[in-house]
Amino acid sequence: MQRRELILHLIERKRLGDIHAVAEKVTAIGKVLPQLPGAPAPQRQKVSALAQKLVAFFPEIDEPADAGNQAATEAVFQKFQRVLKELKELK
């Protein structure tokens, strides 16, 4: 199961406290993403900017998830999905 699907699964089942570990892994991916080879020069800046958004994802979702705030957690998850969509469109 991909991280996105796992987080969605946890949100749908209202297991917000379990999001912490998965979101931490997303942040780790964001930290190494700009260092991966393969992105053409014009896209590197965009990849770097999107990677920073992934790094910011953990604290953004962790706070409302830990507080049990379903609506706020879902809103942050929607932002996360938009970042993933932008990354996918860079291919």
Q: What is the pLDDT of residue 41?
A: 74
Using CA of residue 53, residue 60, residue 21, residue 84, what is the dihedral sign? negative
* Model confidence, pTM: 0.85
The predicted-structure confidence for 15-39, as pLDDT tens digits, reads as follows 999 999 999 999 999 999 888 887 7
Q: Are 54 and 77 in contact (CB under 8 A)?
A: no
Q: Are 30 and 52 in contact (CB under 8 A)?
A: yes
Q: Which two tokens stand for residue 1?
A: 């199961």
DSSP 8-class letter at 10: H
Sequence spans of domains, the chain: 3-89
Q: What is the pLDDT of residue 50?
A: 92
Q: Are 26 and 54 in contact (CB under 8 A)?
A: yes
